[in-house]
Each structure stands twice: as C-alpha cells, then as structure tokens.
Structure 1
C-alpha cells in the first residue's frame, strides 16, 4: 500500500511532462511560423533626418565576423548564417542598411580591425572596460553565462578560487581577462588565438581550465573535457559593438533593436539554440521511479493524476503567496527608503507624468501624492505656471536626448525664488528600454539658512 501511495506523484509527473513536452513543441512550431510571417512584412522604423542622411551616405556597414557556430558561421555554400546573422537581416529590413561580413580569424584580429577602422561593427564581442575605450555597445538582445571547462579526469571546476596557482588559458583579449588578473592575481593566465587552441591545451594538461560561453561549450564533443559551473556574477550579454565615432549608426541600431518584436527574437533563439545543452543525467533513484511508473502506468493513472494535480496546485499557490509577500515587503522597503530621503525625489514616466515621489517632495510643493500621481507638472498647482511649463519642457527634451542633467540654478517656487541643485537622470528597464526620469533637488537656500551661513551667494 505504501508503494502504491508513492507511485501517485511519480505517475502524475510523468503525465505532466508529456503534456508539457507536447505544448513546448507546439509553441516552438507556432513561434517559427510567426517569425516567417513577420519577416515577410517588416515595417521600417522611424529615423530622424540625421540618421536618414547617414544611411544615404553610408549604405553599407562592414561587419567584423569570426566563426562562432550557431551565433555566426559560414555554411557549406560559404554564406554567413546563424542567430546573429538573422538579427542583422531583420535590422537591415527595418533600416535599409546593408551589412557586409569581413571574416576575422580570432578575437584579437577582430578587435584590431575595429580599432583601425577597417570594420564598423561586430556581433559576437562581449562588453568589457578595455573595449569600451574604442567601442560603443548597443542595447542587449539576449545573452548567456560563462562556464568553466576543465579536464575530464580532474575535479569539476566550480570557482576562480579553485584555479589559484594554476594555468587558465583564454583566447587573447578575452572579455574576462582584465577582471581575472585584477581580482585573482594568483591565477596564471596563458593567451592563445582561439577557443580551439584553449581546449587543446586543457586536453593535453598544459592548462588546468578555460572559460567559454555556456552555449559554445556544448557545441563540440567534450571528449577529454568536462563542463564545470557557471562563472558567478558574470553574464555575456549579446550586443552589437560599434566602433567609436559613429553615434548615428549606434542610434539606428538601438532603435531597430527596440522595435524588434520580442516573439520574433524568441523564435530566432529557439531556432538556433534549442537543444544545445545536454539533458541532465538522471540519478539511480530517478531511473527506478521511471521504471516503476511505466510498470504501473496502466493502473489508475487518471484517478491518481487528479490527486497529484491538486497537491501540485496547492504547492504553486503556496509559492505564489510567498512570492507576493516577498514582493510586498520589497515594495514597502522601497517606499520607506525613498521617504527617508531628506531631499525631494520624484519619478516620472515617458510622458512626464508623476509615478511616485517622497514625502520631502510633497512637503516642498505643499501637494499630496494622490493629487499629483499620474499627472503632468503643468496640470498640478505645485509651481508657478512659468516654472511648471519650463520644467515640463526640460523633462520632455531630456527624455528625447536620454542625457543626465545636474545643474545649480534659481527656481521660482510659490514661496519665492530659491537656489537649488537639481538633478534628473533617465532610467531603464532590465531589457534596456527607456522607462522615464528619476530626479530631485537639494534646496541650497534652505541649507544656508539652517546652517546660519552669511557668505556671499
């Protein structure tokens, strides 16, 4: 009877996994169909006059391309293909730019071409501090983690501490090289030209480990190699790297990426990257449970499934309630934090409407949050009309330029003119989209009065 009882959740899980697998396949097919339909009717994005003129003057953009299977590679016909090439094709359809690939043979070679101006952009470079000196990076459109790759006969590499006084081999000018040299000086770093050379040194035992993109690490047979843990706190976001001095091109690419349909991007990633990572090896217990499930699957499956489903639903509800409570606690902490700030602070959306402010902001303007929330500054009787109009116009202009602003100025409040140090900065969502402005000010006049300062202003 106990064995029969233990089979209930196992049989339920088996049925659920089959349903989920069928659903995932259906979604993949639908996304691929949506991608094909979307590619057939791509709408051009809106560009300003300077950007349109730049495209007319520079219709062809040279791409420094290195063979990076699945992301960017040459097929059997010598044509460039892969996820990043599909992204460039979509950007080309949206902007009219024509991208010409120029093959590079290593990361170092590709960086040299960008530095010298021979090439304009790259699609496979990770962002790093030294590269920012001569490259600008577009908004991210995906990414993956970094993983350690070691020898199959050595312990699985879990962290940088495990590599102390050992040889870590990396392709020259790797995105993580400077950070590793700075934070882990005890690690001996050896540079080679390509990832293939790095793998060969690990296989031969001349190096203890290397670091690869988690997708790239699974592309080739591991042989004498073993994939270790993810590199903690390091994420390789997918960007388009543009050489310095081409702000119009960077702006055009960012607008195209912002207008890129999320469903189409997901379909592209699924087309190229689905199934790269190997499934985890089941444990002995999981194999025994699977065998038992198949042996007893014909006995009361549908009746037991309802019990398992109810238990699973209760667990999901419990987890959701816990997540909602945690989110509520975080929001309460954020409200307490912003209210504790002595200077006025506010957040406005893309149209200049107030999202939230702290108590200092309410007290400075003598208006409550519920009277201002969701409204423009010119719609609230908080400032003199001329001041409100001026500040609102500045907010809209700043949202268009996306530049931070810090200034010491005189502002006319209802209680009179005051000298303030005003700051406003754009803020972005996790996917890099502009969401609004965060700002505030420090009342210099009040500070001087409170401190008893009589110095000349």
Structure 2
C-alpha cells in the first residue's frame, strides 16, 4: 500500500497529460455537434409575375454539386449538407423552389454539366472571364482567399512570382488557371482532375505547390504537406452561378439573397465556420512540445513499470535471503550435531569424494577437512594404499547396489591394525534420488566399554 501511495503524484501527472491531449480534439467535436436553431420560414418573397410564372413552370432546379468541405458535402447517410445547402434550403422556403443536387467529381465535370444543360446552377464556383461567357453570377454572400499548399520542409512560396520556372498543380479549369497562364507564363502548369490529385503531386515532389481555398484546405490531413501564405490580392467571393439562359432564376436568387436576414446568414456561417480559421503550420516549438508530451508519458509509464518490476524483484530477493538464512541455520545445526559425536563420521558423493566429515574424523588422521575435501580414499594418505583401495571399492559397490553395511572388522590404519565396528548407509534426496554415502566407525574397545557401562 505504501508503494502506491508514494506513486500517486506520478499517476496524477500522467492522467493530467492524457486530459490535455483529449482536450486538443474537443474543438472539432464541438463543431460537429453544433446545431443551429431552425429558421422561421416567415412570409414568402415578393416576386413579379414573370418570376412567379417561371417558378410555376420550373418548380425544380438542378444544382451541379461537387463536394467541398463545410460548404457542400455528403454526410454519412448520403444526404447533402453544409453552408451552401442550408442557404438553398432557406431560399426554397422563401420562394417555393425545390433544389435537387446532381453530383460531379471535378471542376471540369461540373462546368461541363452546366455547359451541356444537364444542370441549372451551382454554388461552389469562383468567377473568372471564361465562366462569365456562359454563366451569370448572383450577389456575393461571403467569401474567402486562396492559399498556397506546398511540401512540408520545403520553402513555401509567398507569391506567384516565386513559382516562375516551377511546376504548379491545379485542377483543370481552376478559377485562377486562365489568369496564371496569361500573367505568369514562366510558371509550368500541370492540370489534373481534382484537388486531391493536385495535392498528391505536391506530396510526391512532382509539383512544387498547388492553390486551394483557405477555408477548406485546413480540413484535410496535413500528411507531408504544409499550408502556406495567402495569395495577395486574390479573394474568392461566394456566388450562386446560373446558366445565362435562366435569367429569371438569377433574379429570383438575387432577391432572395437581398431579403436574407443578416442575423440568419451570420448564424449559418457561425454554424459551419466557427473554429475553422486559417492557421499556419505548427512551429518547431509546438511540434517539439507535442512530442515532449508523448515522451513524458512514455517515460512515466516506463518508470512505473520499472518500479513495479523492481518491487517484485526485491520481494523475490527478500524471500530468497530468508530461505538461505533458514538453510544456513539448518546446515549449522547439522554441523554442530556431527561435531558433537565422538566417533568419526564422513559423507561421500556418488563418485566417492569426501564432501563432509566431523571433528573426530579430522582428529583420527591429524588433518583438516579443507585438505581432504573432494578427495577419494585412493587420493589421500589417511589409509595405507591397500586399505584405501579396498574401502573405495566397497563404497562404489554400495552406491551401485544401494545396500547398507554394518560389520565388525580389522583395518590397517597409518598407526597399525585396529578392530572397529564399521557402518555405512546410502542417503537419498527429497526427490528420492541417491545422493551419496554416510558412514563412520567405532573402535571395538570403546564399543565394548560402552556395552559394559550400559549393562552395569
């Protein structure tokens, strides 16, 4: 318990960092969840007889629509949504018109639908000379600028002049294409179908930059791209573009925009644009800070895991030290019991090597155990060679058969022939495996003396 109490500050720190990271994504969630209050349809727009007749004859208006984030896009249910869709719905309430979207997938395809009469109007086109040849544009109801998009790490252009001799990728029939070809012939234009393809060319270094609307560009994943500066003096107002042969429709739309309540327009733009402001690429310090948060979290987690692991190891070490202390106590008791016995006692391993003896054994041969440790009977001079060979053979035979031996015998020691009572027994480990031989002897004279004392 004390361990966790001491680590509470570290856990609190880690939870705080996680909350900070979660808060960074909270703004986007707020925008997605924001719902503007429903509009009051109010009174119908006052239109002249020609306009009313046109609406009666053309109640349904086909809108060529290309997905453009925030302005016009399909939601997860496949329904059209966005700022421009809300404006069209409000105009529908004011006029009685029904706006039907027909999807296109590139600026070139969208323009072709209008040129071929497959659609009546669109909501996402910027004005230029080419488009004014076959389209009429309504009153502006907002707008945004153009920005450069380059590869992250490269020097971002600040003006079109800096792109002279370089490749600029644009969707075909982009609003600025004709102007750039006319005023900046040194720029090498590479046209593609969509903005996504233009971004891909920049990311793969096949183009130096592309140009996008500053509102929508910040909604795409940055990847290896970087949003640069705005094009100075280039502004893209928001228009409703209508085919030139549909002038009554243009007049109706202009009257609707003029009568559009300013408060409602602000509410609509706030609904979709709040919190989506052009921002510069994150600074080096900000990127380092973000990496720093994760590094701190990783270090804290690693530190906590290390503390837990060290604690576990310390517990195991303490348990092992306690077990070793108990084992040492047992060995000391065993040694004390052996040394307290007056007769010689020895222990030999499976190869006949001496692994333990008592004090009496050392005194019998006037030597120390340290000199005899690990020796066989045939390796030392405690017995004459013939006696040592005989005893060693008996030891190995007992270890082979597992039989105990208790016998009165005469043995030749270094000091002469002696009558002894010789005993030896195999001993086993806790797993039942043979570990060695335990034995000793008693001088016959001392044995009979003990018997007489017992009988007396």
TM-score relative to the length of structure 1 = 0.54
Partner of 1:104: 104
For 1:152 and 1:86, the matched residues in 2 are separated by 35
Deviations 1:28-51 (A, max 9, x none): 99xx89x625x1333211000000
Partner of 2:44: 44
Partner of 2:252: 252
For 1:173 and 1:279, the matched residues in 2 are separated by 27
1:107-186 correspondence to structure 2 within 5 Å: 107-186=107-186
Structure 2, unmatched stretches of 5+, are: 1-26, 287-456
Partner of 1:268: 268
Whether the aligned pair in 1 keeps the contact of 2:113 and 2:119 (CA below 8 Å) is yes
Q: Secondary structure at the match of 1:154?
A: coil
Partner of 2:82: 82
1:319-358 correspondence to structure 2 within 5 Å: none
Whether the aligned pair in 1 keeps the contact of 2:135 and 2:241 (CA below 8 Å) is yes
Higher Rg: 2
For 2:283 and 2:203, the matched residues in 1 are separated by 27
For 2:200 and 2:66, the matched residues in 1 are separated by 19
Deviations 1:290-319 (A, max 9, x none): xxxxxxxxxxxxxxxxxxxxxxxxxxxxxx
For 2:87 and 2:221, the matched residues in 1 are separated by 27
Q: Does 1:70 align with 2:70?
A: yes
Q: Secondary structure at the match of 1:36?
A: coil
For 1:190 and 1:42, the matched residues in 2 are separated by 49
For 1:65 and 1:152, the matched residues in 2 are separated by 31
Deviations 1:400-452 (A, max 9, x none): xxxxxxxxxxxxxxxxxxxxxxxxxxxxxxxxxxxxxxxxxxxxxxxxxxxxx
Residue 278 of structure 1: CA displacement? 5.8
Partner of 1:401: none
For 1:129 and 1:197, the matched residues in 2 are separated by 25
Partner of 2:195: 195
Q: Secondary structure at the match of 1:40?
A: coil
For 2:279 and 2:182, the matched residues in 1 are separated by 35
Residue 79 of structure 1: CA displacement? 0.6
Residue 273 of structure 1: CA displacement? 1.4
Distance 1:200 1:64, change over 3 A: same
Q: Secondary structure at the match of 1:139?
A: coil
Whether the aligned pair in 1 keeps the contact of 2:215 and 2:278 (CA below 8 Å) is no
Deviations 1:190-219 (A, max 9, x none): 100000000000000000000000011101
Whether the aligned pair in 1 keeps the contact of 2:144 and 2:236 (CA below 8 Å) is yes
Deviates more, 1:119-128 or 1:259-268: 259-268
1:197-236 correspondence to structure 2 within 5 Å: 197-236=197-236
For 2:284 and 2:151, the matched residues in 1 are separated by 23
Residue 240 of structure 1: CA displacement? 0.4
Partner of 1:400: none
For 1:42 and 1:118, the matched residues in 2 are separated by 32
Residue 157 of structure 1: CA displacement? 1.5
Residue 279 of structure 1: CA displacement? 5.3
Q: Secondary structure at the match of 1:86?
A: helix
Whether the aligned pair in 1 keeps the contact of 2:41 and 2:93 (CA below 8 Å) is no
Q: Does 1:55 align with 2:55?
A: yes
Residue 284 of structure 1: CA displacement? 7.3
Deviations 1:71-129 (A, max 9, x none): 10111111100010000000000000000000111110010010011100000000000
Q: Secondary structure at the match of 2:276?
A: coil
Give the RMSD, CA atoms, in angstroms. Answer: 2.4
Partner of 1:405: none
Higher RCO, Cα 8 Å, sep 6+: 1
Distance 1:129 1:279, change over 3 A: closer
Q: Does 1:91 align with 2:91?
A: yes
For 2:166 and 2:239, the matched residues in 1 are separated by 32
Distance 1:120 1:41, change over 3 A: closer
Deviations 1:307-365 (A, max 9, x none): xxxxxxxxxxxxxxxxxxxxxxxxxxxxxxxxxxxxxxxxxxxxxxxxxxxxxxxxxxx
How many residue pairs get matched?
257
Distance 1:110 1:278, change over 3 A: closer
Partner of 1:277: 277
TM-score relative to the length of structure 2 = 0.54
For 1:221 and 1:106, the matched residues in 2 are separated by 20
For 2:220 and 2:159, the matched residues in 1 are separated by 23
